[in-house]
A and B are shown apart, each in its own frame.
Chain A
């Protein structure tokens, strides 16, 4: 006992310090450890969740990209098909139009030709009439009354015939 006293050990002080320290531990536990560790844990969980979400989102994105790529490729193939079809159709319809146009043109040309021929005929006929009358006039003037009407008529007819022949 004397030894303990020499070392400064006093049971009242010892108990006081023990109580002090126990109270400190309880207060720190309630006030500091519990809430702070909870915050730390919550944050850790949140970060883990966030990382997991980010990872799954990345995978989702990758999958979407893949899908997009496939869709685009499909669309490309389809577009090419459509274009080819359209080209075929255009070629065909072009040819049709060409043929139609050609026919039309040919028709027009023939029509024009017949018209021209008719005109020519008409013109020729008219010219003949004119010329024959002119010739008649001139021959009348030139020959006068040298020839009688009968011969005259005969001559005229002959000359007209000649002209006709030509």
Chain B
């Protein structure tokens, strides 16, 4: 172990420059449209005379605030713990025991990167509310961050089982970008783009102009063609947007195993991110196949690890993603490597299907949700005798009923459970099919749930609770007897003593 430095250290003082610059950026972004809107009503000179001093005051306040924060923040790494003192008005002292530290994550936006700085988050991965179990060092130099990371995550090297790779496990293949637009993000971004154009034109007082310009342009075309053109433009923007987002998130993606038994994900084009995950915390993986990706044979890998999901408010879920949407072969290879198995449990397992009664349940749910859309339209259209609503009702019935039945049958076919080696594997879902491989020793409790409808059909839903990931993974609508036998084999001695033959 390296000799711990007992001196208090400060954050990098260039943080003041960075936060002043980003405040200046915000001021320009907000000030320019405000100034133009303002200047339209009165004289441009007056607008400048008001907005520029306001902006300067804001930037100065941010700079002073950040300078004081920098002056008041000290941290040090001792042999047994890490301490951080901070706070301007209310001083806070926090100390984390080093043996409880589970993650050291580094994030740097474009500005921080320009100055060679990094934000560091040291986490213990405990089940407490977000904030109390982690330390933030915003920011330190890149070298200091890297030093902290290696020092704090330095563990006894685990015994290497032969045949399992350390070093690079996976890296980005730019051809994977083709999977990025196959998601709900694409239409969402397309719609958002139209909204953004209208909003921006409103700032500049040009909204009417933009709308009439579009109508003029479209008036040459037939209405249907015009709608199709608008949809096409939206889709193109959406595809470009989702691809760009993918590139920003996953550029230079590398998944590595480090000698100390840590998995490390590094990625990002503008904002670079480094996420470390101790293998001791890993309880399995989940293969996630959103419908769009499944149709083209792609899946992503999420880690099922303790202490990853707790910061759900401010963290995005891609923190736990070990591999972005990639071809199935690559996914199986990486999953096997990550779990130190010969073959990924998600591909070696033989999944047992569920009783047909589960299909009926899913079809009924599908039809019920279609009815929930159609019936109100029908009733309103009939009561108020509005023709348009009646038309909407039958159109949505024609579209929704087949779609929901197909999704229901697909959801039923996707249901499955099995045991392979040390893993319990469960699969479910249609729009988002998830196949979770959970280490059997990671299961810390079992729950069986049965509604009176399930009881009539002899079905039961079994849930394995775990300290990791979502906290619980379910085998939905399995046959009661078969499911309980499965649970007892997968995790002996939990349900075992409480089972009986009827």
* Binding between chains A and B: no
Chain A interface residues (CB < 8 Å from chain B): none
Chain B interface residues (CB < 8 Å from chain A): none
